[in-house]
């Protein structure tokens, strides 16, 4: 019995240490953040990992010249909106799953599978931003888990932030009621103009 207890204790400690060591560095208030003055598609990474597509997708394939697009950056709890957004027939939406602050081990163990599950059957591309390059290019350093952000890519390739909104705490795990979904989607879709 004592040996089983030692094995369980060492397993828990090992798992905790693995998660701690693979967690990304959090910004302190003293850390200086260099912000891009004018957002533009030229600042975005050259390729993206898109959920449901093996390999990478080039920036030029997602952001075509002279076409307006909307980028919706979804932090942890806001990913609960993917189920409803993917029902949209709009072709001008690109989703970004902001999971860059999640420890590497957790990303590989659970998050990537959950994102693939959320995006099944969707025609809307979802960028898996594990490195955080996409959100950094958008000057987005707010990783509050209930927030989501909407950006517009204009025909001249400039990018403007349109809105910043939130969903309720526990929305991803506990789900949303239909009236909450309607409220969030009305607010989201009204900003996509």
Q: What is the mean pLDDT of residues 87-99?
A: 87
- Looking at the domain assignment, is residue 114 inside a domain? yes
Total number of domains constituting the chain: 1
CATH number at residue 92: 3.40.30.10
Q: Is the pTM of this model over 0.85?
A: no
CB atoms within 10 A of CB 24: 15
Q: Which of 40-44, 73-77, 100-104, 135-139 has the lowest mean pLDDT?
A: 100-104
- Looking at the domain assignment, is residue 69 inside a domain? yes
Q: Are 96 and 129 in contact (CB under 8 A)?
A: yes
Q: How far is 136 from 98, CA to CA, in rounded Å?
A: 10
């Amino acid at each position: 019995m004592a040996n089983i207890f030692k094995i369980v204790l060492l397993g828990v400690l090992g798992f905790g240490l693995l998660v701690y060591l693979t967690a990304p560095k959090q910004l302190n208030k003293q850390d200086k953040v260099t912000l891009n003055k004018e957002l533009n598609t030229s600042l975005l990474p050259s390729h993206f990992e898109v959920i449901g597509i093996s390999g990478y997708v080039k920036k030029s394939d997602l952001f075509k010249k002279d076409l307006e697009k909307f980028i919706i950056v979804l932090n942890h709890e806001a990913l609960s909106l993917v189920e409803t957004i993917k029902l949209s027939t709009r072709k001008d939406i690109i989703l970004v799953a902001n999971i860059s602050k999640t420890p590497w081990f957790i990303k590989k163990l659970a998050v990537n599978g959950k994102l693939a599950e959320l995006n099944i059957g969707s025609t809307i591309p979802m960028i898996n931003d594990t490195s955080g390059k996409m959100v950094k290019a958008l000057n987005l350093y707010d990783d509050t888990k209930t927030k989501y952000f909407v950006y517009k890519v204009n025909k001249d390739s400039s990018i403007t932030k349109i809105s910043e909104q939130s969903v309720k705490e526990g929305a991803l795990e506990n789900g949303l009621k239909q009236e909450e979904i309607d409220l969030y989607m009305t607010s989201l879709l009204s900003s996509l103009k």
